[in-house]
Chain A
């Protein structure tokens, strides 16, 4: 297996202003993820893991350092381009699912493809296989409010997978789920990993992190491999 890097971060620093004080959230992070890896970033609340996830997900900028995502230097990229990168390279799975409540399951799932400029029919066709794999075929016309937490998270995973991204980025994917549903989702992650997907999962739960192939810790803005 080759060692093609999907994520390559070097000395990434990020700080926020809290009133008159400067809060250093990330203090020189070095982090790499190879293609096909399932990595967990484990850290307690306030450790900087959410900030790191936002930077990995191209939703926030870094103050200094370098970040290459699948060969693209994100640290030098403008917002307009970052939007395209988010759409093409990253599949987001959020703790609170972040589904659009007024859309049906299918409409939610195909959104990234629509954003890419595809028409509805093509997008739906491309998503069918994923939908079947995740057992959502009978729920396509339902609204998110009509689904259980586990089902909603599966819809979110389907949305992330459909655009065939380089990286699946999951932020506390089991945080809002009961234990059984959480395990079900984690099994699914394992399956996706086995299928060759690159997954980065952020969690504060050591048990959840245990499902990953590799775990890195982040404490007080510093990373421990």
Chain B
């Protein structure tokens, strides 16, 4: 029998049983719609991750330090910041033999770090009364007694350590395979200027000139902070897109205007283009960027805990770079544990969790398909039973096993395909509803294609057995309706 004629017969049968076809294909409709939505959600998630991490360089390593809460805490502790050895002058700090002098004669910001009087007068290296290796000659009482009296057996991170540009230089000098390095900090400050009548709190980010390039920030107008701004501690700033709009109304109005940060006027040297929301790092749209050294001088003092970011030349080499950075830091700060997070891992983790979610949803959709397929199989079995005589007639008048098999298979495939097409249409109708629940969906033709392919495969797989049973019917028995 010609294939086109088989298809014609299939069409006749399906038209005769429209409602049954629709009911049979409901499982497939749901399955196909689910598949399209799952793929769209997966793609949306991926795009979200890419967008949220777009300011991150895959080879970037963020190095920061967090002082443990037990340090200088309640109880009798000889640890960092304790009253036992106050003042850097009494316990000088060495790093590889060089002593870091107080910075530029500036007064430290005591108010910024009231509990660490020991850090005063130092530019950043080790501060506080903690021990630093390098032959200070003083026993590390903090380490010795921390576990005994400090209420914690972990003697790490009890010191009040402040990373500095010197640490960054140490790392770049000692760790091979780095292409860039920068240091940043953020602080909250009250600002006014522009349309702001009263003061408002904004995130102020102290950065070097290379931060824009490393974080892939682009400027809408003006220039980013320059090396000269940093060296001269110029009071200039670059506004994030939203910050500029909120303070001045527009980027154009903001450019070359004055913003008062902590009551000091800063000239707006540039406005960033809109960056969007980010998962990690500084949220650039809402921030105000100032030269690193300017912020240290006028806003934070040297006790602010900055983050050093280094960029590995080769992303595949990131673990070796991490180990080398750890070694350099361990040599300088033996009792400290630094938080080193690499952007690639963050992105990978985010992508992995996204993939896991997608896989879960795909598994769910597959189950729906299997249920839909079983539905088709059931209906086809009933159909074979109902049409036993018809099969007998076809066989009696010369219908071959192949013809019968193909007719029933094609029926199953068509039911699935119809279900698939309806399912895809349903998914496109449902997607705006899901999007309104803040679920990001990226609908795609590929998703629709995969859903249709799944539908077809389901129909073929689950339709085969009933079709095969039909084709095996003995004509005499089938004719008598047995």
Binding site for B on A (CB under 8 A): 54, 57, 59-60, 80, 83-84, 86-88, 92, 94, 98-103, 107, 111-112, 114-120, 159, 163
Contacts and interface: CB of A to CB of B under 8 A. Distances in A.
Contacts of A54: 476
Contact of B398 (A84, A98, A101): A84
16 contacts: A83-B395, A83-B398, A83-B400, A87-B398, A88-B398, A101-B390, A102-B16, A111-B394, A115-B1, A115-B398, A115-B399, A115-B400, A117-B1, A120-B5, A159-B397, A163-B397
Contacts of B400: 80, 83-84, 115
A111 B394 CA distance: 8
B357 interface: no
A117 B400 CA distance: 11
Contacts of A83: 395, 398-401
Nearest to A111: B397
Given A59-B475, A60-B476, A114 B1 contact: yes
Contacts of B12: 102-103, 107
A32 B2 CA distance: 36
Q: How large is the interface on B (under 10, 10 to 19, 20 to 34, 35 or more residues)?
A: 20 to 34
A98 B8 contact: no
A112 B396 CA distance: 9
Contacts of A59: 395-396, 475-476, 479
Contacts of A88: 398
Interface string B368-391: 000000000000000000000110
A116 B476 contact: no
B393 interface: yes
B403 interface: yes
Interface string B4-16: 1100100011001
Interface of B: 1-2, 4-5, 8, 12-13, 16, 389-390, 392-401, 403, 475-476, 479
B397 A115 contact: yes
Contacts of A102: 12-13, 16
B395 to A, nearest CB: 7
B17 to A, nearest CB: 8
Contacts of A87: 397-398
Given A60-B476, A103-B12, A119-B5, A112 B393 contact: no
A94 B4 CA distance: 29
Contacts of A117: 1-2
A30 to B, nearest CB: 23
A112 B4 contact: no
A60 B479 CA distance: 12
Given A98-B389, A115-B400, 4 more contacts: A86-B398, A92-B397, A100-B393, A119-B5
A48 to B, nearest CB: 14
Contacts of B401: 80, 83
B396 A57 contact: yes
Contact of A119 (B2, B393, B395, B398): B2
A197 B370 CA distance: 54
- Scoring A54, A115, A117, A120 by chain B CB atoms within 10 A of each residue's CB, the highest score goes to A115
- 6 residue pairs, one from A and one from B, having the closest CB atoms: A87-B398, A115-B398, A102-B16, A59-B475, A112-B397, A98-B393
Nearest to B396: A92
Contacts of A86: 395-398
A116 B403 CA distance: 11
Contacts of A112: 397-398
B20 to A, nearest CB: 12
B391 to A, nearest CB: 10
Contacts of B8: 120
Given A54-B476, A83-B399, A87-B398, A100 B390 contact: yes
Contacts of B5: 114, 119-120
B389 A115 contact: no
Nearest to B478: A59
A117 B403 CA distance: 10
Nearest to A102: B16
Contact of B396 (A98, A103, A120): A98
Contacts of B16: 102
Contacts of A98: 389, 392-393, 396, 479
A111 B398 CA distance: 9
B13 A115 contact: no
Contacts of B475: 59
- Scoring B4, B389, B396, B403 by chain A CB atoms within 10 A of each residue's CB, the highest score goes to B396
A118 B8 CA distance: 13
A57 B398 CA distance: 11
A97 to B, nearest CB: 10
A92 B393 CA distance: 9
- Scoring A92, A111, A119 by chain B CB atoms within 10 A of each residue's CB, the highest score goes to A111
Contacts of B390: 100-101
Contact of B394 (A84, A94, A115, A163): A115
A9 to B, nearest CB: 18
A212 B13 CA distance: 39
A115 B403 contact: yes
A78 B49 CA distance: 65
A114 B398 CA distance: 9
B39 to A, nearest CB: 38
A84 B400 CA distance: 8
A179 B425 CA distance: 58
A159 B397 CA distance: 9
- Scoring A60, A80, A98, A107 by chain B CB atoms within 10 A of each residue's CB, the highest score goes to A98
Nearest to A120: B5
B478 to A, nearest CB: 10
